[in-house]
């Protein structure tokens, strides 16, 4: 079953330096029918103005994944980690027993990103941060695997999270079609372009919940970038 959430129906907030669209309840946006999707707690579609960002703030017991769509974000945290994540790259922070961090756009142009939070399978783990550059995001027969906490993916060179979940993503060419396998239940994001998902049209910024299906058919109606978050059902 597929349920589509158009970009225009998402929660919204504009703080001047940050323009955010919320797929689930977050900050001052509360929708009792949209609090989480299984272990998936947050998807924020953020636009961060040049030379601005999130000041240092704490987190605990959450897997926080940032997918940078354009521009770059600079991360610093209380564990001494620091790094810049550029467009197309991903960073993962396991908040675990507690960590404080900041995220700044130190570029002279706007940065756009998805901020994704997933509940961990265990609490109180040692906090950690890592990032990876995925230079080739082209899609062949399925979306490339980018993040996973599943045992069977441990040797695939992807970023790790403390949950039996995965994130895949990549770029499709216009008229390209793929079949994407789903292990649990999935949330699909259209980062760029237009697609058909099992025959239903989605555009840039839209999201879709996919349940009770072992796979979906994705057809690119234009050049497109897609992210699929697969979490336990």
Nearest to 64 by CA among 101, 22, 30: 101
Q: Tell whether the torsion through CA atoms of 50, 170, 221 and 165 is positive or negative.
A: negative
First to last CA, the chain: 13
Provide CB contacts within 8 A for 148, sequence distance 6+.
156, 158, 159, 160, 161, 165, 166, 167
**Calpha distance 202→4 (Å, rounded):** 8
Q: Which domains does the chain have, with CATH numbers?
A: 11-132 (2.60.120.10), 145-231 (2.60.120.10)
Predicted local distance difference test score (pLDDT) of residue 135: 65
Write phi, then psi, for 57 (nearest 5 degrees): -150, 155
Predicted local distance difference test score (pLDDT) of residue 233: 84
Burial 137-167 (b: 16+ CB within 10 A, else e): eebeeebbbbbbbbeeeeeeebbbbbbbbbb
Q: Is 175 helix (H, G, I), strand (E, B) or coil?
A: coil
The one-digit pLDDT tens for each residue of the chain (233 residues) are: 999 999 999 999 999 999 999 999 999 999 999 999 999 999 999 999 999 999 999 999 999 999 999 999 999 999 999 999 999 899 999 999 999 999 999 999 999 999 999 999 999 999 999 999 876 678 989 999 999 999 999 999 999 999 999 999 999 999 999 999 999 999 999 999 999 999 999 999 999 999 999 999 999 999 999 999 999 98
Q: What are the DSSP calls for 3-15, one per residue?
A: EEE-GGGSEEEE-
Residue 84 CA to its chain's centroid (Å): 17
**Calpha distance 110→88 (Å, rounded):** 15
**Calpha distance 229→233 (Å, rounded):** 12
Triad 74, 77, 78: Cα angle to 5°: 165
């Amino acid at each position: 079953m597929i349920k589509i959430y158009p970009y225009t129906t998402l929660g919204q907030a504009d703080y001047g330096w940050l323009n955010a669209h919320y797929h689930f309840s977050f900050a001052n946006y509360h929708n009792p029918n949209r609090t989480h999707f299984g272990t998936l707690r947050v998807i924020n579609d953020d636009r961060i103005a040049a030379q601005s960002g999130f000041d240092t703030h704490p987190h605990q017991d959450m897997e926080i994944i940032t997918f940078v769509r354009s521009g770059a974000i600079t991360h610093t945290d209380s564990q001494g980690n620091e790094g810049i994540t550029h467009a197309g790259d991903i960073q993962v922070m396991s908040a675990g027993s507690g960590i404080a961090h900041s995220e700044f756009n130190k570029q002279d142009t706007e940065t756009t990103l998805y901020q994704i939070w997933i509940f961990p399978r265990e609490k109180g783990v040692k906090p950690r941060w890592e990032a990876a550059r995925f230079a080739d995001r082209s899609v062949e027969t399925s979306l490339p695997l980018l993040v996973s906490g599943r045992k069977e993916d441990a040797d695939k060179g992807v970023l790790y999270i403390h949950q039996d979940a995965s994130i895949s993503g990549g770029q499709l060419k216009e008229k390209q079609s793929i079949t994407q396998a789903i292990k649990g239940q999935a949330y699909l994001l259209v980062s760029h372009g237009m697609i058909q998902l099992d025959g239903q049209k989605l555009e840039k910024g839209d999201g879709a919940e996919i349940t009770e299906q072992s796979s979906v058919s994705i057809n690119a109606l234009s050049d497109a970038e897609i992210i699929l978050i697969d979490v336990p059902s």
